[in-house]
Amino acid sequence: MYENGINGLHERLTVRRSSIESSTSLLPTQMFTTIGIYKGSRVAIKKVIKKKVDINKKLLWEIKQVRDVTHENTVRFLGACIDCPNVLILTEYCPKGSLKDVLENEAIQLDWNFRMSLIHDIVKGMAFLHGCEVAVHGKLRSCNCLIDGRFVLKISDFGLHTLTTPSEVVKDNAFYNKLLWIAPELLKDTTVPGHPASQKGDVYSFSIILEEIVVRGGPYELARQTLSIQEILHRVESYCTPSFRPDLSDRDCPEDLMGLMERCWADNPDERPTFEIIRGIIRKIMKGYCENLMDDLLRRMEQYANNLEALVEEKTDQLSQEKRRSEELLFQVLPRPVAQQLMAGEMVQPEQFECVTVYFSDIVGFTALCAQSTPMQVVTLLNDLYSTFDRAIGFYDVYKVETIGDAYMVVSGLPERNGDNHAREISLMALSILDALHSFSIQHRPDSQLKVRIGIHSGPVCAGVVGQKMPHYCLFGDTVNTASRMESSGQPLRIHISEATKQILDKFGTFQLELRGEVELKGKGRVVTHWLLGCSEPDPPPP
């Protein structure tokens, strides 16, 4: 009967690797476990590597024992799939994680009401196991104490010694770590954690779990800061005087619970109380904490709600910070009003601007400089130069349109109009950049003076967002071409402005201009241009 049932599970089990998110767990972090769907319900799956499984009377008897275990504080055994070398054991799924997970998660606040409830659940589950045919656990650890959807702690991984013992035991760090819960009288004979086992050994394991609950870490939390796991095990097994046990000095722990812990980890197994006796002691200690099951459940729910509220607040704050970072990054790529339209899901329509001022600059002799420099030196130069420009333009009402190679393009008067101030803002910015260039140093050629040509022109443009991937705010119109021609026909370390820009600057009466005369511009013929020499406005913003 059992053989048919075991093999039949294989056909009805859907296994998948799943990520259990914080919405279904006490834990705010992501937890991975192997789960499956069996008869329409989610089940937990434990995988054991075995080369061969003999379905004999001993195995069937062990399966009957665990199938008969039905208690609110023990995990239900559902079945197994035997397909060597992969053996799968199916048990009740507990979505809230393990006691170890909860204790190690600092985001969860555990008051002593909650802790005593968890301790009480462990004692009730173990008292039942010791009183049934299973009789002994052998592998009692915090990771085997699971929390179900009703916040009830349940004991898992008991029984089935024949099925759960792997074919090969690797004595790595994880192996020795599991021995920290093993009683000293069992350590020397332990080949696999959980074998041999005894009821008094389970009581000792319970005392180590108590230490974990008190310190929210462990086992042997303090000792592991200075000793290796093997050194700790050697001291425990050697029965030194006084006995080597976890150090709980200066820890917040009820005095009665501390006394119970010391009794449970006594060297002499006969001096350790049974779980029935422990259950009575815990009931007395719990007076003043959780006196009835309903209060216990309500307190657990309230604790969980408080933790969840704090977690939601924390995650909301993190989301807001990330949103602000994303917005600031977008505002550096697109003008703020345009970016806000895009974030609102609106289409950004092209817009005509009657008059703006466009600035162009580039490096004189940039091609020759690149030929004499390494690519990394060129990148460093441009980064240093444009960082200097960016700091300067931050003081003015301008928008940096783009940089292409050594070309630097800035505009004022869009996307928000500013009257005739666009010519003034660009001119002040150009003077500031020119002043900064006199003190600019090329890292790999410190004796060389970097020379830049600057051209400025004012006129109408059309602006809009182009592209869906990496959208770009672009300017179109003859004004852009003319500003570029003003730059290319200029001279090093001088600001070349058009007649249109000069007429606007004359309205302010604070700019020093010099007539250059007629200049041949490609596609424009001969036009009158000027040099911008300075500004008499008091205390212009520093770069």
Phi-psi region of 540 (alpha: psi -120 to 50; beta: other; left: phi over 0): beta
181: nearest Cα among 201, 160, 159 = 201
Query: Quick count: other Cβ atoms within 10 Å of Cβ 327?
Result: 14
- Residue 454 three-state SS: strand
Count of helix runs (H) and strand runs (E) in the chain: 18, 15
Its CATH class, for the domain covering 103-303, is: mainly alpha
Give the C-alpha separation, 24 to 99, whole Å: 15
| pLDDT for residue 426 is more than 80 | yes
pLDDT of residue 345: 67
Looking at 20-34, 167-181, 383-397, 423-437, which range is the least confident one?
20-34
Long-range contacts, stretch 262-268, CB < 8 angstroms, 24+ apart: 262/207, 264/203, 264/204, 264/206, 264/207, 264/210, 265/204, 265/207, 265/208, 267/184, 267/239, 267/243
Q: Residue 156 is encoded by which pair of tokens?
A: 């898992």
Q: CB of 78 within 8 A of CB of 91?
A: yes
Helices 421-437 and 375-393, packing angle to 10 deg = 130
Q: What is the mean pLDDT of the chain?
A: 84
Domain boundaries, the chain: 103-303, 344-535
Using the structure block, give the residue that is written with the tokens 């004999």.
56
Tell me how far apart the alpha carbons of residues 232 and 180 are, in angstroms, rounded to a whole number.
8
pLDDT band at 465, cuts 50/70/90?
Answer: confident
Instruction: Judge whether residue 213 has pLDDT over 90.
Output: yes
What number is the average pLDDT over the span 487-515? 91
Hey, what are 211's tokens?
């230490």
CA distance 128 to 141: 17
Concatenating the DSSP letter of every residue in 239-271 gives T-SS------TT----HHHHHHHHHHT-SSGGG
Mean pLDDT of all residues in 46-73: 88
Going by DSSP bridges, is the β-strand pair 495-498/472-476 parallel, antiparallel, or unpaired? Answer: unpaired
Q: How far apart are CA 535 and CA 542, in angstroms?
A: 13
- Please list the alpha-helical segments (H only) found in 71-181: 99-104, 112-131, 161-164, 173-178
pLDDT digit string, tens, across residues 361-382: 998 888 888 888 888 988 998 8
Return the top range by mean pLDDT from 265-274, 336-345, 383-392, 516-525: 265-274
Q: 236 by DSSP, 3-state: which?
A: helix
Q: Which fold has domain 344-535?
A: Alpha-Beta Plaits (3.30.70)
Question: Over 70: is that where the pLDDT of 25 sits?
Answer: no
- Give the whole-angstrom CA distance, residue 363 versus residue 330: 28
- Please state, for a pLDDT cut of 90, what percent of the chain lies above it: 36
Phi then psi dihedrals of residue 117, to 5 deg? -65, -40
Q: Quick one: tokens of 414?
A: 């869009």
The tokens of 398 are what? 């301008």
The more confidently predicted of residues 323 and 296 is 323
Helix (H) or strand (E) holding 506: helix 499-506
Task: Give the separation between CA 175 and CA 139, rounded to whole angstroms.
Answer: 12
Instruction: Give the per-residue pLDDT at 297.
Output: 65
113 close to 101: Cβ distance less than 8 angstroms: no
pTM for the structure as a whole: 0.55
